[in-house]
Chain A
């Protein structure tokens, strides 16, 4: 199994971060990303992921997703698939402890890729076109808006200002490194090593 090509099948929300890791020589595999908006359509996401994996039956897959469709666990039952641990993209990047703290604080988390297309997500996908409705909604469900700066692009100050005005709430910026992502990927890839060692026994 070690000779097989490894493909990192990732949500598009991680695209900039995994490309950064690849550039730094910390991720050595082919990268396939799927549209991050599939998060809103888990059945379609499952179908698309399934097709990619079926098409590469002779490859190994590193799945960089959270618990984003209901059969993610079964996907890992295949011998050639491992998944990075984490309930969603935010937890994968932030680590469990920080993620849980933000959840308990009722923080709404903006990751870089979604931040750049925030208007499309809120007005088209969620249909929160009316700012008054959007503000009531966001204030009811979130106490804080937090932009996570992963260091892969400049902090989009103007966009964050637009978001802040749209929801009538301040946007905080949380600077993080890619350490948790890197660690998650390394831990997942080690499962291939264990599979391989078990296979040889």
Chain B
């Protein structure tokens, strides 16, 4: 077993046991001679993918998912601090927007998505809860984001996502700006993602980096720089 494989196994075990500090220590140990960015790429990102698969099979509790998010957040902070001091800056993948749709206040999923996207190298603008279609579109235009991720927990609030699609259409931004949708309701009602005007969805927050990557590439193909 390589060092990276051993570290991944230990970090997964720590997260599943709810041991945030232990997981952080294991990642710090791995980073000693390699740096925190390498620990993210070689250890934590694959760990998050593995936890995402288990989440999809409903083998992960809310607490374990939460701990995974906090461990990612802790490591991101260390990367951020290290890169502040370093003359070499890590290239970011680009700006993306996330937020809970108008009238939706279930922020756990969105916050996890935000952390996982940052872990994957995206520059995330998290607009918080109860965000209107206009606010999403304005921020995407202001930052140059090609993907907006909108979260909704329930059917009633998910229906409000249509307003974001309509706003993008009205401003002739559909195609350039892709709409990722997610939240508990989409898991049990897959077709809803397209009914509300979404361009794609992921099985869970852990898989959001792959979704955003795909939508970003689609946007580039449809409306190149």
Chain A residues within CB distance 8 Å of chain B: 42-43, 46, 66-73, 87-88, 103-104, 106, 126-130, 133-134, 136-137, 141
- Of residues 120 through 155 on chain B, the ones whose CB sits less than 8 Å from some CB of chain A are 129-130, 154-155
B185 to chain A, nearest CB (A): 5
The dominant DSSP class at the B interface is helix
Contact assessment for B62 and A127 in the assembled complex, using a CB-CB cutoff below 8 Å: yes
Asked if A70 and B185 make an inter-chain contact with CB atoms under 8 angstroms apart, the answer reads yes
- Assuming the contacts A67-B154, A70-B155, A128-B62, asked whether A43 and B67 have C-beta atoms less than 8 A apart, the reply is no
Q: Smallest CB–CB gap between A43 and chain B, Å?
A: 6
B66 CB–A CB distance under 8 Å: yes
A73 to B66 CA separation, bound complex (whole angstroms)? 31
Asked whether A130 and B156 contact (CB < 8 A) given A43-B188, A69-B188, A104-B130, the answer is no
Known: A66-B154, A103-B105, A128-B63. 13 other contacts (CB 8 A): A70-B155, A73-B155, A88-B154, A103-B129, A127-B18, A127-B61, A127-B64, A130-B63, A133-B63, A133-B66, A134-B63, A136-B70, A137-B63
B157 at the interface (CB under 8 A from A): yes
Task: Judge whether A133 and B185 touch: CB under 8 Å.
Answer: no
Closest residue of A by beta carbon distance from B21? A132
Could you tell me which B residues sit within 8 Å of A by CB distance? Answer: 18, 20, 61-64, 66-67, 70, 103, 105, 107-108, 129-130, 154-157, 184-185, 188-189, 192
- Contacts of A106 on B, CB cut-off 8 Å? 105
Least CB separation from B192: chain A residue:
A70
**Can you identify 10 A-B contacts, CB atoms within 8 angstroms?**
A43-B188, A67-B156, A68-B154, A70-B189, A87-B154, A126-B63, A127-B62, A127-B64, A128-B62, A137-B66
Given contacts A67-B155, A133-B20, contact A42 B184 (CB under 8 A): yes
Contact (Cβ within 8 A) B130 A130 = no
